[in-house]
């Protein structure tokens, strides 16, 4: 039913793809993904691949869930859209807010909707500024983020993002954001134990607060495990200690759970269940609707809500929001998605299969290029290096991440290259058998990569 060649041409002629290297794209065009089912996707030529990236860290319940499509169709035909501004609401948005309050840590009971992760982060900062304005602390504006964090691509979210290459060609809103060091255990300073490294990072945070002044800092934002920046797992106790510093300085602690939420680490939210933190705000998107429809949500604490919602006369309007805040069709998709996660024990599957995935991926460490295998549960990454001893990188032109991903795709598996890294962030329904199949493919792909680098 498709003419793959004609589609390939139309795409190449007209579609500006995000995060795309046009020197490659203009030569090669794109692979069109046309079909999907469970853990598989299929291209326009009929080639089937295991999806090793859950679309883009998001199709948590897997592809082709008819019941999500049906829930969306039912909502779209009954009442596809109406405003949620002010005194209007809709049934799925209301039910989803209630459900999220039930699933989130006990103190987070209020939900602000957006259309994705970037927008959620952007809106969050507006809520935070509004909050401190209302408390009579308008100077508390600055947000502390971290190098290599990924928080999105709208202007403010891109400024929060600490991946330098994301902003090479752009201005950033530097008066609003300061970046701390990322927590990178693999590349921590030589001779430092993990505990000392944690002390060092917390010390940097405290020193930065002393320099900028707590009166000028509104919040600290962090991914529980840094995702696109390299699946970086912080040293033990890091998040709790950063939260304690926040509390001591009247700085809000924001957890960006856009990737870690909705089961990827074995729980609906990782902050409390995995890292024993109680953020003032949790942001989510992606797995919230498993990518079946665009949706983001900001969950805020009772304490924040109390301040945001106290009438203060004229001017006391929360002037932020989107036409599609609480979109009924997206919220219907999310409700069905959550129902599936609960009904099928998907968090339990991640807790069961996740450690096996970690262990099996670690068995690939013997390959010449694999310097580090890291991550947790269904959020994993291979870091490719030129020299395991010195951890020196291969030259950028070697495109080692692309090579590994290319070899894997030839063998029926899609994983994500990010520079010299390869990310594995699958749908949460992988079984042990699938893990074995994937690891065998990666094993062969890494051998082929080593050979091609030698050639």
Query: Using CB under 6 A as the criterion, which residues of the chain lie in contact with ligand PLP when the complex forms?
Result: 116-118, 121, 150-152, 223, 227-228, 256, 258-259, 285
Q: Between residues 163 and 341, which has the closer beta carbon with respect to ligand PLP? A: 163
User: Would you mind telling me the total number of residues written for the chain in this entry?
Assistant: 455
In the complex, least distance from residue 437 CB atom to ligand PLP, rounded to whole angstroms? 26
Q: Between residues 258 and 385, which has the closer beta carbon with respect to ligand PLP? A: 258
What are the backbone dihedrals phi and psi of residue 302, each rounded to the nearest 5 degrees, phi first?
-55, -40
Point out the residue whose Cβ comes nearest to ligand PLP: 117
In the complex, least distance from residue 344 CB atom to ligand PLP, rounded to whole angstroms? 24
Strand partners, 144: 178, 220
Q: What is the rounded distance in angstroms from the CA atom of residue 318 to the CA atom of residue 309?
A: 9
In the complex, least distance from residue 223 CB atom to ligand PLP, rounded to whole angstroms? 5
Q: What is the rounded distance in angstroms from the CA atom of residue 330 to the CA atom of residue 324?
A: 9
Coil, helix or strand for 213? coil
End-to-end CA gap in the chain: 40
Q: Are 118 and 361 a contacting pair, CB within 8 Å?
A: no
Q: Are 406 and 201 a contacting pair, CB within 8 Å?
A: no
Q: Between residues 43 and 256, which has the closer beta carbon with respect to ligand PLP? A: 256
Q: What is the rounded distance in angstroms from the CA atom of residue 437 to the CA atom of residue 217?
A: 48
In the complex, least distance from residue 163 CB atom to ligand PLP, rounded to whole angstroms? 11
Q: Between residues 84 and 118, which has the closer beta carbon with respect to ligand PLP? A: 118
Strand partners, 297: 113, 284
In the complex, least distance from residue 173 CB atom to ligand PLP, rounded to whole angstroms? 16
In the complex, least distance from residue 371 CB atom to ligand PLP, rounded to whole angstroms? 23
Neighbours of 65 (CB within 10 A): 20
Q: Are 32 and 8 a contacting pair, CB within 8 Å?
A: yes
In the complex, least distance from residue 117 CB atom to ligand PLP, rounded to whole angstroms? 2
Q: Which two tokens stand for residue 94?
A: 């209301």
Helix (H) or strand (E) holding 112: strand 108-114
Q: Between residues 183 and 259, which has the closer beta carbon with respect to ligand PLP? A: 259
Q: Between residues 221 and 400, which has the closer beta carbon with respect to ligand PLP? A: 221
Q: Between residues 53 and 209, which has the closer beta carbon with respect to ligand PLP? A: 53
């Amino acid at each position: 039913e498709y003419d793959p060649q004609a589609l390939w041409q139309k795409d190449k002629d007209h579609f500006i793809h995000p995060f795309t290297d046009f020197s490659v794209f203009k030569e090669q065009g794109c692979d069109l993904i046309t079909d999907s089912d469970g853990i598989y996707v299929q291209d326009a030529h009929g080639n089937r691949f295991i999806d090793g990236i859950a679309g883009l860290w998001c199709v948590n319940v897997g592809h082709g869930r008819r019941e999500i499509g049906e829930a969306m169709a039912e909502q779209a035909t009954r009442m596809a859209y109406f405003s949620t501004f002010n005194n209007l609401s809709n049934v799925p948005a209301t039910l989803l807010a209630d459900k999220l309050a039930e699933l989130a840590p006990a103190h987070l009971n209020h939900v602000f909707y957006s259309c994705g992760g970037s927008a959620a982060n952007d809106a969050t900062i507006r809520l935070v500024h509004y909050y401190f304005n209302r408390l009579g602390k308008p100077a508390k504006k600055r947000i502390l983020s971290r190098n290599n964090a990924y928080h999105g691509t709208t202007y403010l979210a891109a400024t929060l993002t600490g991946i330098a290459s994301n902003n090479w060609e752009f201005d950033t809103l530097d008066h609003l954001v300061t970046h701390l060091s990322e927590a990178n255990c693999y590349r921590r300073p030589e001779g430092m134990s993990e505990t000392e490294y944690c002390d060092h990072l917390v010390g940097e945070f405290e020193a930065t607060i002393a320099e900028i002044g707590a009166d000028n800092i509104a919040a600290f934002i962090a991914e529980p495990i840094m995702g696109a920046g390299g699946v970086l797992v912080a040293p033990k106790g890091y998040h709790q200690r950063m939260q304690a510093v926040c509390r001591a300085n009247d700085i809000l602690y924001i957890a960006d759970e856009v990737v870690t939420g909705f089961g990827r680490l074995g729980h609906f939210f990782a902050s409390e269940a995995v890292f024993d933190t109680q953020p003032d705000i949790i942001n989510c998107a992606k797995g919230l609707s498993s990518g079946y429809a665009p949706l983001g949500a900001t969950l805020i604490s009772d304490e924040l809500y109390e301040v945001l919602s106290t009438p203060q006369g004229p001017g006391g309007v929360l002037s932020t929001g989107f036409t599609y805040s609480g979109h009924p069709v997206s919220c219907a998709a999310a409700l069905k998605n959550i129902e599936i996660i609960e009904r099928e024990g998907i968090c339990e599957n991640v807790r069961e299969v996740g450690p096996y995935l970690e262990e099996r991926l670690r068995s690939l460490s013997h390959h010449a290029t694999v310097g580090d295998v890291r991550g947790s549960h269904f959020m994993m990454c291979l870091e490719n290096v030129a020299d395991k001893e010195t951890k020196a990188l291969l030259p950028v032109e070697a495109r080692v991440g692309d090579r590994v991903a290319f070899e894997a795709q030839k063998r029926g598996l899609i994983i994500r290259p990010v520079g010299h890294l390869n990310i594995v962030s699958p749908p949460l329904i992988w079984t042990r058998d699938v893990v074995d199949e994937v690891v065998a493919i990666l094993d062969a792909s890494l051998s082929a990569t080593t050979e091609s680098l030698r050639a």
